[in-house]
Structure 1
Amino acid sequence: MEMRVATIRKRTLPSGKVVWLASYTDGGGARRFKQFPTKRGADAFLTQAKSQVAAGVHTPDSVSPTVAEAAEIWLKRCERDKLERTTIEQYRGHVELHIAPRIGAVKLSRLTAPLVNEFVDQLLVAGRSRELCRRVLISLSSIVTEAQRRGLVTVNNVRSAKPVKRSSRENTRPLMPTKAELKALIDITPERSRPMLLTLLFAGLRGSEMRGLLWEDVDLKRGVLHVRRRVDRFNAFGPPKSKAGIRDIPLPPTLLRELKAWRLACPNGPLGLVFPTTTGTVQGHANILHRFFWPLQVEAGITVLKDGKDEQGRATKVSAAKYGLHALRHAAAALWIEQGLNPKRIQTLMGHASIQQTMDRYGYLFEAQEDEAAMLAGVEAGLLS
């Protein structure tokens, strides 16, 4: 629909301030007004509004929701689409902790690229990491996209904002144990816990994938582990993080022997878990860290000094475990790369959604490539001898 009778009038407010009032008819036939401090600004607005009305995509400020209102609409859509509980909680954290406090009152129609850039700058100045800022920006873009789908805003200016790039001084290499540290961990791991440690290390599973692994996913005859599911921090089962997460991983000889022996000793349970609790239920991620992986590192002397308190409550430095569970997944990738597997194969084994993700994380590790068959027998060399 063409805009009818678009005008600009000069007005003097009771305060004596001079403004320019732009008036136009929107695509629904309603008369709209918008005030500007300069005639140039009013002219630019009417030119843009006329184009948008003609294209049928104009959203007046008066009907545009705020960022906070649009965020609630988006979160309800996520719940309706039955996204994982942990994912929705992460999104809600982005909204409640970062987006709403700073730009929640801004109308979507006024959310410009410069304003988004300023918002990210505020987060960085407040000490938020670049990775967190990147994720919050993705959530903000998704909020605007959902509003755009519903006709509540014309364009997604978040996409035009400056992307959050890693600092040139930021160490982007994943933290992982050295071979000496891995050997020390393997050597002191109790026999009952050894299959779990070796599965994390030699199959490169995420902690959530290991916790949700079922015996039906392990082909002990063919020596293949099928990744088909994971459990979240609430111990709820769901699919892998992405379609790429559904994958088959060859089991090296020693791990295969360990799993065959563990199959006979594994606690029975209705779920058929490979690594259950003693009662057959899903192990909690925190329990694995606190009762197994962190104490194991302390026993092996793989520690760092962190801030803590002594028995009298005074601030002091204490020895703490050096790595989280995910470090074993990074170590698995490093071992595969060392054996000469190419980037595409590493992407598949790790369940990465893109080759770019693989190269961003492990590109510095790639060297000469060799036959993959050598990996199955060679990946354990030096660690289990």
Structure 2
Amino acid sequence: MSVRTHTWTTKSGEQRQAYLVQYSTAELDKRGKRKRHVKFFDRKKEADAFHAQVRVDVSKGVHVPASKSIAVEAAGRNWIDSCGDLERTTVDGYQQHLNLHINPYLGGVKLSALTVAIVRDWQDKLRKGVPAPGQTQAEPRTADMVKRVTTSLGSLIGDAVERGHVGTNVVRNLRANRKRGKERKAERRAKGRLKIGVDIPTPVEVDAILGAATGRWRPLLLVAVRCGLRASELRGLPWSEVDLKKGEIHVRQRADAYNRIGPPKSESGERTVPIPPATIKALKEWKLNCPRNASRELHYVFPNGEGNIENHANIVTRGLAPTLIAAKVTAPDDSEAPKYSGLHALRHFFASWCINRKVDGGLELPLKVVSERLGHSNIAITADLYGHLFPRSDDSKELAAAEGKFG
């Protein structure tokens, strides 16, 4: 196994030079000898990098020669086929990543030819909005989108590794995927924490929203604010899981973007959430007027006019947005635009309400209980999102009171 310089003269008499990597694999040729492979590079740096990688791959027995490798586009089809057990919305998102961001740039590249340099160049083109071959224009992708499609590319290559179409996953060698603790902390600081009045409605704003809510939207917004259910959980909530006598909601299912019922987002998403008294009263009144389906059955708690699952877009555009505008909870620069764009802002408020001190109108619940009520898959998610909202133990008033005992 070696890297050599190869020179030759073209028919026109021009001198050319390339770098040649020659190596053997455990695979046997027709003569029963180890099969030899040759690969040419224009730059010595690229040849050296390939040589170093192929030595490791051959020693581990995972190297796949270019002749047996497939293109990224074909690997993408295999990857999508393997996602059959995932939600339709998730698979559609992966397919969109392939169609819009991966295949136009890398679809024709063989997996064995992918290098860290090629992937980094692809990321740079996405960020800058450089058009793919055959395209005339393209919009710059956000940093978050680049991160997500890179993750999809890594999953695609990971699937190809398992199928034996390529030896290593180059995406896992990217420095961005090997960040140290300090770098991750710096990234989180740059992203910023959720802020009251910016990402999370204030108590005054919530009072105004609930005061302005009317008709079928009032019980829905009350449950969103006081029980913290996700939008998908609200849309898929059946009356059979609402115990108005005990004052409990049992979250055991959700409705996806295609109005199909499935399990909660995670195992911890299946939970029991208490219902405050005023919300119980609103639900009792709503149950008497709730639309029924074609068979006259009362099924979903917050259905559309025909008693079936309501679309998420309708809840936001017909329910939440007009209510926020009526409550004058609008954008600072536009009195006709709602200040908060989705129901998740109300879920954020529920989390802050659970966390806040009782003297400030909150429930002052422990972190673990808050995590359970939100249905987070682990307590770390709750801590990362809302940890800064918990009361500080070094509050100046508490310090002064404690100091007085020993002064």
Same fold (TM over 0.5): yes
Q: Which residue of 2 aligns with 1:358?
A: 382
Match of 1:250 among 271, 274, 280: 274
Structure 1 distance, partners of 2:337, 2:44, is 64
Q: 1:163 to 1:248 in 2, by over 3 A?
A: farther
Q: Which residue of 1 aligns with 2:211?
A: 187
Is 2:99 aligned against 1:75?
no
Is 2:277 aligned against 1:277?
no
Question: For 2:268, what is the secondary structure of its paired residue?
Answer: helix
**Superposition pairs for residues 197-276 of structure 1, below 5 Å?**
197-269=221-293, 270=297, 272-276=299-303
Note if contact 1:276-1:282 (Cα within 8 Å) is conserved in structure 2.
Answer: yes
Q: Which residue of 2 aligns with 1:100?
A: 103
Q: Which deviates more, 130-139 or 43-52?
A: 43-52
Note if contact 1:298-1:321 (Cα within 8 Å) is conserved in structure 2.
Answer: yes
Match of 1:300 among 307, 310, 327: 327
The aligned amino acid for 2:82 is R
Structure 2 distance, partners of 1:43, 1:161, is 18
Q: 1:343 to 1:124 in 2, by over 3 A?
A: farther
Is 2:144 aligned against 1:131?
yes
Is 2:84 aligned against 1:88?
no
Q: Which residue of 1 aligns with 2:136?
A: none
Match of 1:333 among 351, 354, 357: 351
TM-fit CA distance, 1:46: 4.8
Given the two structures, how large is their TM-score scaled by the length of structure 1?
0.82
Note if contact 1:189-1:296 (Cα within 8 Å) is conserved in structure 2.
Answer: yes
Q: 1:139 to 1:40 in 2, by over 3 A?
A: closer
Q: Which residue of 1 aligns with 2:118?
A: 115
Structure 2 distance, partners of 1:74, 1:318, is 46
Structure 2 distance, partners of 1:358, 1:109, is 41
Structure 2 distance, partners of 1:161, 1:68, is 21
Q: Which residue of 2 aligns with 1:287?
A: 314
Q: Which residue of 2 aligns with 1:24?
A: 23
Q: 1:113 to 1:248 in 2, by over 3 A?
A: farther
The aligned amino acid for 2:339 is K
Note if contact 2:328-2:335 (Cα within 8 Å) is conserved in structure 1.
Answer: no
Question: For 2:15, what is the secondary structure of its paired residue?
Answer: coil
Note if contact 2:57-2:168 (Cα within 8 Å) is conserved in structure 1.
Answer: no
Q: Deviations over 1:165-209 (max 9, x none)?
A: 647544442612211111011112115432111111111111111
Note if contact 2:292-2:306 (Cα within 8 Å) is conserved in structure 1.
Answer: yes
Q: Deviations over 1:316-340 (max 9, x none)?
A: x772112122211111111111122
Q: Which deviates more, 289-298 or 46-55?
A: 46-55
Q: Which residue of 1 aligns with 2:135?
A: none
Structure 2 distance, partners of 1:275, 1:40, is 62
TM-fit CA distance, 1:73: 1.4
The root-mean-square deviation of aligned C-alpha atoms, in Å, is: 2.7
Q: Deviations over 1:246-289 (max 9, x none)?
A: 22212222222322332333222347111112321111111112
The aligned amino acid for 1:330 is H
Structure 1 distance, partners of 2:57, 2:173, is 18
Q: Which residue of 2 aligns with 1:377?
A: none
The aligned amino acid for 2:20 is L
The aligned amino acid for 1:116 is V
Note if contact 1:27-1:54 (Cα within 8 Å) is conserved in structure 2.
Answer: no
Note if contact 1:13-1:19 (Cα within 8 Å) is conserved in structure 2.
Answer: no
Q: Deviations over 1:330-385 (max 9, x none)?
A: 1111111112222222222212223332222212211259xxxxxxxxxxxxxxxx
Note if contact 2:5-2:17 (Cα within 8 Å) is conserved in structure 1.
Answer: no
The aligned amino acid for 1:19 is A
Q: For structure 2, which runs of at least 5 residues remain unmatched after alignment?
A: 29-34, 130-139, 178-183, 357-362, 394-407
Note if contact 1:11-1:21 (Cα within 8 Å) is conserved in structure 2.
Answer: no
Note if contact 1:117-1:162 (Cα within 8 Å) is conserved in structure 2.
Answer: no
The aligned amino acid for 1:274 is V
Q: Deviations over 1:113-134 (max 9, x none)?
A: 3433343333333443332222
The aligned amino acid for 1:160 is N
Q: 1:244 to 1:255 in 2, by over 3 A?
A: same
Given the two structures, how large is their TM-score scaled by the length of structure 2?
0.78
Q: Which deviates more, 184-193 or 44-53?
A: 44-53
**Superposition pairs for residues 60-71 of structure 1, below 5 Å?**
60-71=65-76
Aligned length: 353
Q: 1:137 to 1:45 in 2, by over 3 A?
A: closer
The aligned amino acid for 1:92 is Q
Q: 1:345 to 1:135 in 2, by over 3 A?
A: farther
Structure 2 distance, partners of 1:223, 1:230, is 20
Note if contact 1:185-1:296 (Cα within 8 Å) is conserved in structure 2.
Answer: yes
The aligned amino acid for 2:323 is L
The aligned amino acid for 1:334 is S
Q: For structure 1, which runs of at least 5 residues remain unmatched after alignment?
A: 307-316, 370-385
Note if contact 1:305-1:319 (Cα within 8 Å) is conserved in structure 2.
Answer: no
Work out which structure has the larger RCO, using CA pairs closer than 8 Å and 6 or more positions apart in sequence: 1
Q: Which residue of 2 aligns with 1:33?
A: 38
Note if contact 2:194-2:200 (Cα within 8 Å) is conserved in structure 1.
Answer: no
Q: 1:138 to 1:51 in 2, by over 3 A?
A: closer
Q: 1:13 to 1:247 in 2, by over 3 A?
A: farther
Structure 1 distance, partners of 2:253, 2:383, is 25
